[in-house]
Amino acid sequence: MSYIEQGGGCLLATMSQEPVGFVAWREVGPAVAADAWELKRLWVRPQGRGSGLGRALTQAVLERAVAAARKAVYLDTVPAAMEKAHRLYLETGFVPCEPYNDNPIAGVAFLVKRL
């Protein structure tokens, strides 16, 4: 299931009619880049882990960004707390970038994928 509104959207993955994965995106705004999105809130419940669902949700956002003529997708994550997600992002082509928001969490890493 997907939900899209102007400036952002989300995808919900289900298994046996139960939510097992989620990802959202939104515009980052002209202060960062007028033609970019931010990937937000990727999660996969334990019963969906190891299935490739996190990669599929991430790829789905990237495909939508390309279709919407976005030039980049940004995200922030905490590698120490989300090691597998951080590795997934690097494997899908995200690279470190300068901070683009004021996330106060210690150890946050800022990443971007140019499209």
What pTM was computed for the model? Answer: 0.91
pLDDT band at 5 (very low <50, low <70, confident <90, very high): low
CB 2 within 8 A of CB 11: yes
Kindly report the CA angle at 113 between 107 and 68, in degrees rounded to 5? 130
CATH number at residue 23: 3.40.630.30
Q: Which domain covers residue 97, as residue numbers?
A: 2-114
pLDDT in tens, 83-114: 999 999 999 999 999 999 999 999 999 999 99
Return the pLDDT at 29.
85
